[in-house]
């Protein structure tokens, strides 16, 4: 939290939203978002760029190799359900 305040962050990305209550963040105009919420907003802004990054991740996987669909499944399994749904649509 101290680092976010020091750099003037507008958003803290965390999956532990309970650790960052709105009333505690309000004095610094900081908002807490889950990773899924944050990445879904990035998909809304530019889906081609985000999908390109997923493709880059898939291309970088060698042992074992992974397809884009396998990367998306792995991301969904890690809690990025809405983001993956948006990327697959």
Q: Assess whether 17 and 47 both reside in one domain.
A: no
Q: Assess whether 67 and 82 both reside in one domain.
A: yes
Cα Rg for the chain, rounded, in angstroms? Answer: 15
Q: Taking the model in full, what pTM does it have? A: 0.85
Q: Assess whether 85 and 50 both reside in one domain.
A: yes
Does residue 8 register a pLDDT over 90?
yes
pLDDT of amino acid 43: 98
Does residue 11 register a pLDDT over 90?
yes
Q: Assess whether 43 and 83 both reside in one domain.
A: yes
Does residue 1 register a pLDDT over 90?
no
Give the residue carrying structure tokens 């009333």: 23
Structural domain of 15: 1-33
Q: Assess whether 41 and 82 both reside in one domain.
A: yes
Q: Assess whether 88 and 62 both reside in one domain.
A: yes
Q: Assess whether 23 and 50 both reside in one domain.
A: no
Instruction: Classify 10 as helix, strand or coil.
Output: coil
Looking at the structure of the chain, the number of domains it has is 2
For residue 68, which of 59, 76, 77 has the smallest C-alpha distance? 59
pLDDT tens for residues 26-50? 999 999 999 999 999 999 999 999 9
pLDDT of amino acid 41: 97
Q: Enter the tokens of residue 65.
A: 């190799």
What whole-number distance in Å separates Cα of residue 28 and Cα of residue 63? 44
What whole-number distance in Å separates Cα of residue 22 and Cα of residue 26? 6
């Amino acid at each position: 939290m101290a680092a976010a305040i020091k750099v003037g962050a507008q958003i803290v990305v965390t999956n532990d939203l309970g650790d960052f209550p709105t009333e505690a963040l309000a004095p610094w105009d900081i908002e807490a978002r889950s990773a899924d919420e944050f990445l879904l907003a990035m998909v809304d802004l530019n889906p081609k760029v985000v999908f390109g990054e997923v493709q880059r991740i898939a291309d970088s996987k060698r042992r074992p190799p992974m397809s884009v669909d396998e990367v998306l499944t792995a991301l969904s399994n890690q809690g990025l359900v809405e983001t993956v749904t948006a990327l697959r649509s």
